């Protein structure tokens, strides 16, 4: 019995000690078209229906929504976009705070997390630890001008469609989010 317990403890510590992980913590979303408190209330109500959002703070002056995510809940970035668009507005910028532990990134690095792929565009070689702000640069998650800028900074075609392409060595056309620091 003691041997089984020791082996189990050793396996768990090896997995926790060497496995990189990440977690969405919060996000700041700039919503275009929000000009009054009624607009803000419409977006707030739409976002509140998402089960993974624990708290929403609004900066009406800057049309920004600060989202705090529930711990251990799967965050769906496209659902945030869809709720904002469903309320009649669009995402001008989305910056999420992601808790990293020992994740080494470089330009065009594809990171897998929670059934999604995050393609790092225009970043330097570095190791990410602690909470890091990542900016989404996909069409519909940033301004068109910003999106076009990042399309020009990578030769990977997946940035144009948001789906895996031959450049990603993926079998299916899965969603790929394009992010930068």
pLDDT tens profile 50-91: 999 999 999 999 999 999 999 888 999 999 999 999 999 999
Distance CA 119, CA 163 (A): 11
pLDDT at 45: 98
| Average pLDDT of the residues of the chain | 86
CATH of domain 20-180: 3.30.70.100
User: Of all helices (H) and strands (E), which one includes residue 9?
Assistant: helix 2-18
Between vectors from CA 169 to CA 166 and to CA 174, what angle results, nearest 5°? Answer: 80
The upper half-sphere exposure of residue 3, i.e. CA atoms within 13 Å in the direction of its Cβ, equals 0
The per-residue b/e assignment along 130-142, b for 16 or more CB within 10 angstroms, e otherwise, is eebebbbbbbbbb
97, two tokens: 């705070």
pTM of the model: 0.84
- DSSP class of 70: P
pLDDT of res. 11: 38
pLDDT at position 36 over 90: yes
């Amino acid at each position: 019995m003691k041997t089984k317990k020791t082996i189990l403890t050793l396996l768990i510590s090896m997995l926790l000690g060497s496995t990189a992980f990440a977690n969405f913590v919060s996000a700041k979303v700039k919503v275009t078209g929000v000009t009054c408190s009624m607009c803000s209330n419409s977006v707030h109500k739409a976002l509140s229906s998402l089960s993974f959002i624990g708290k929403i703070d609004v900066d009406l002056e800057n049309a920004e929504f600060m989202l705090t995510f529930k711990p251990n809940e799967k965050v769906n970035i496209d659902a945030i976009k869809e709720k904002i668009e469903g309320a009649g507005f669009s995402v001008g910028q989305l910056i999420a705070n992601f808790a990293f532990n020992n994740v080494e990134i470089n330009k065009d690095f594809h990171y897998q997390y929670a059934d999604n792929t995050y393609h790092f565009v225009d970043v330097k070689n570095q190791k990410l630890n602690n909470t890091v702000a990542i900016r989404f640069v996909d069409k519909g998650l940033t301004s068109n001008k910003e999106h076009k800028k990042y399309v020009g900074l990578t030769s990977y075609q997946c940035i144009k469609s948001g789906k895996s392409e031959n450049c990603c060595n993926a079998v299916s056309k899965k969603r790929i989010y394009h992010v930068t620091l």
